[in-house]
Structure formats: structure tokens, C-alpha cells
Chains A and B, each alone.
Chain A
Amino acid sequence: MATPLVVSEVAKSFTMHLRDGIRLPVVANVTFSVKAGECVVLGGPSGVGKSSILKMLYGNYGVDEGQILMEHDGKLVNLATAEPRTVLEVRRATLGYVSQFLRVVPRVSALDIVAEPLQGRGVAIEDARARAAELLSKLNLPTALWSLPPATFSGGEQQRVNIARGFITDHKILLLDEPTASLDAKNRAVVVEMIAEKKAKGTALIGIFHDEEVRDVVADRILDVSAFSPRNAAA
């Protein structure tokens, strides 16, 4: 089976220059891979570095050491050292991300926020909007909200916009940062179903789920991130 993502000996620390240059090690020797159609859930207590790993995979955290190899456009790309425009190209075509919070853009409607990634892949605006509408109704977002910018939406509504945006493309790798955290049971079930569909289509998924019920249903494998704690590595 194809393995679209391989992470090898990745280490990350923060140096807080405004706090007398204190160095905070986050993770070390992170090594794992994800197969097509597999959902790997990052586990472990809060603060152990789960979100940091996802952010490194997406490229918005820098990587101190190691490699993050993704299969993109028939080639292997090392995201840890890639040029900004390569990272953006990988995000456009290969790597999707559902963040915990929606970053709202003033004046852009919920429907267009969801449609945007498809448009970025060259799909005509009408078709992209039609697909966005499908996803938003599946996630039970009231039709009246579709044409509004999500700035004033509730947390759960914003999160559903975010999920629709992340799931609209057929990216080979999808990162999920607590996509079900502020959803009710009914919508949680919808997301669980959507994740199952992605797996069936061969998407490699890496996620953080604090909700045990959801985690047990979607996870093929749970990766204990505390094993990558730098304190363990030092011992």
C-alpha cells in the first residue's frame, strides 16, 4: 500500500528570546509513517506536543531536525526544508488541514470560504460553490448562514465551516486538529462518517481527538506522543 507521509527523526524546540532566551524542547526523534486509507490519531496528555507535530506537518512551525517526506505530484518533497512556494503548492494539491479555529476573512461568505480550496485547484466557481453547499447541508449548517461571513457564527458553526473547507478537496493527506471539539452528537456523527469516506478513498489522515468515543471509532492506530518527549530522549 502507498505511504504518502513519512516522518523521520523530527525534533522541535522553541527559544523564547523575550524570556531571557529560555529554550523549551517540544518533541524529539518523532518517527512514524501513515499509509493511504489509514487514520493515525496522536495521543497523550495536553502539552505533550500533539498540535506542534501537526503544525510542523503543515509547515507553519519550523522544524529543527529531521525530515517530513510527502508524496506530492509523483515526487517526494521534504516539507521540513522546502521553499515557501513549494509548501504552498503542496498545500494546494496534496495536504489539507482542518484547524481548531477558523481564521475568518472579512467580507467573505461561508460558502466561498468552503469553496476556495477547490477553486484553487482550478474548479469553476459555480461547481465549487455547489460542492460547498452539499457539504454545508450535510453538516447541518442553516442555509441562511451560507452567504454571511462567519465572524459572527457560534463556535460550532465556525467549526463546521472549517471542516467543510478541509474536506472539500481530494487531498491525499489530511490533518485534523480536534475537528469535533465543539460539535453536538449529531454533527459529530456526520464528521465520523466523513472521515470514514476519506479513508475509503485512500486519504492518509493524521488527527488529534480528545473525544474518546470519536477517537475509538476513527483511529486505526493511536500514536503516543509522550514517547517523543525530549525528556524521555535525554534519559
Chain B
Amino acid sequence: MSAVPLLKVNDVSKFYGSRIGCRNVSFDLFPGEVLAIVGESGSGKTTLLSCLSTRLMPTSGIVEYHMRDGQYRDLARMGEAERRFLMRTDWGFVHQNPADGLRMTVSAGANVGERLMAVGDRHYGNIRAAASDWLERVEIGIDRIDDQPRAFSGGMRQRLQIARNLVTSPRLVFMDEPTGGLDVSVQARLLDLVRGLVHDLGLAAIIVTHDLAVARLLSHRMMVMKDGAVIEQGLTDRVLDDPREPYTQLLVSSILQV
């Protein structure tokens, strides 16, 4: 069990003018830990995710990341070039809509290979081999390697986006509703895949979802957000089996049983 956090979040708030995006969020994320952020639409989940992943600047508060050289760096004080490099190598970001994370007009193989080229890989044969290896891991047939994601189904696109993100062996992956918009059988396959990859690669992940079943299956720890604030957090099965806050009780009791 690693003793030092990978990400340290201290009192992060984001305001859009006078409107609250998220407020006073603090937590540590450890290597290999999967954190789910749940809450209804508009509760601030995505704003928080954006602040953590440097897609948005927090209005106040500090987010620090444990770099591979062992130093903590304040993400807000990082140069643009360095931050981009971090996002392309040590981090992954899986968007709800695969079109936001993929290049739709280049081949599936190139979508995966591009991240490798960004970290300096230049050998075509190696890149193609890594790309086909990853397509296989996310269960996309090798015969589709030269097809553009435009020709893929939603579930395939999402799996391709995951391959593209994981090919550089990141240590931290952000996911924004990774299963949103997929039908349930496709969701099950994707969840099983993500669960296996997170486990095998020892990834830390922060997953925003409104689906408590997804949180139960994938996450170790859970934060419940309402009106921009974290109202309850803890071990995932503790929060779901014994919710304390009125809003969490409402969320859990609203799950449909099949």
C-alpha cells in the first residue's frame, strides 16, 4: 500500500460569476485507487473533474500532482507545455462522447498511435504493433485497424477512446460518464473491460457518473455531490449500503430494481 498520494486536492472551489460550480472540495487520491464522484445533473461533478484535470482553472484552492520524479507540482503553476505533456503521457481523459476524445477522420490505429508519437515514438512498426495490441485488449477486431471511428458503433468508439488513453501507460485516468449513452449490454462489456484494465494496470481513476451501479462496480471510494459541495464520502459499499445524508438516502432509494 503506497503511503503517498498521487493527487492532493485542497479546498478547491470554482465560481461562474456568482454561481457556484463546486466549493471547498478536499481529498487525496492514492495510486491504484478508483474514486467515483456521483450526484445528479448540475451538482458540480463535471466542474470538479475539469478543475482537477486542468481543463478549468479553479477560482481558489490547490491541486497538486505527484510527478514521476517524486516531486509534487501545483498544477495551476505549471507551464502550458508541461501540462500538455502530462495530459498526453501520465494522464488519460475519457469523455462521455467519444467524438470529443477521438479524431474521427483518422484511422483507429492512428488514434491509438498518435499518443505514442506524442511521447516520442517514431518507429512505424512498433507503433502499429502497440496499436493492434491495444485494439485487441479493448476487443476491437484487428481487421478494423484502418477504419475511421466514424464507421464504429458507440460502444466501439468508447472502447477505442479507452485504448487511445491507456496506450501510454498513464497513472491517472479521468472519466466523465464513460458509460453514458450506451445501451446496457454494451455498458456491461465496457464496465468489465474498464474494471479489468484498472485492476491489471494499477491505475488510479476518478470517474464521474450518475449511475450508482457503475460506481459500485468500479470504485473503491465514493464522493456524493449536491449543489457544488461534497455532502458525503467514504468506502463505496459503506456509502451505498448505509447512506447517512438525506440526499444520499434519496439517491440510493431511487435505484430501480430489476
Contacts and interface: CB of A to CB of B under 8 A. Distances in A.
Interface of A: 14-18, 55, 59-62, 84-85, 87-89, 105-108
A17 B244 CA distance: 8
A24 to B, nearest CB: 12
A110 B181 CA distance: 29
A89 B241 CA distance: 19
Interface of B: 1, 30, 33, 188-189, 191-192, 195, 217, 220-221, 234-238, 241-242, 244-246, 249-250, 253
Contact of B244 (A62, A84, A105, A108): A62
Given A17-B249, A59-B237, A60-B235, 20 more contacts: A16-B249, A17-B245, A60-B238, A61-B238, A62-B234, A84-B221, A84-B235, A84-B236, A85-B30, A85-B33, A85-B220, A87-B238, A89-B1, A105-B192, A105-B217, A106-B191, A106-B192, A107-B188, A107-B189, A107-B192
B192 A108 contact: yes
Secondary structure dominating the interface of A: mixed
20 contacts: A17-B245, A17-B246, A18-B246, A18-B249, A55-B242, A59-B235, A60-B237, A60-B241, A62-B238, A62-B242, A84-B220, A84-B234, A84-B235, A84-B238, A85-B220, A87-B235, A88-B220, A105-B217, A106-B188, A108-B192
A195 to B, nearest CB: 25
A60 B221 contact: no
B188 A15 contact: no
A98 to B, nearest CB: 15
Contact of B1 (A16, A85, A105): A85
Contacts of A105: 192, 195, 217
B220 A59 contact: no
Contacts of A60: 235, 237-238, 241-242
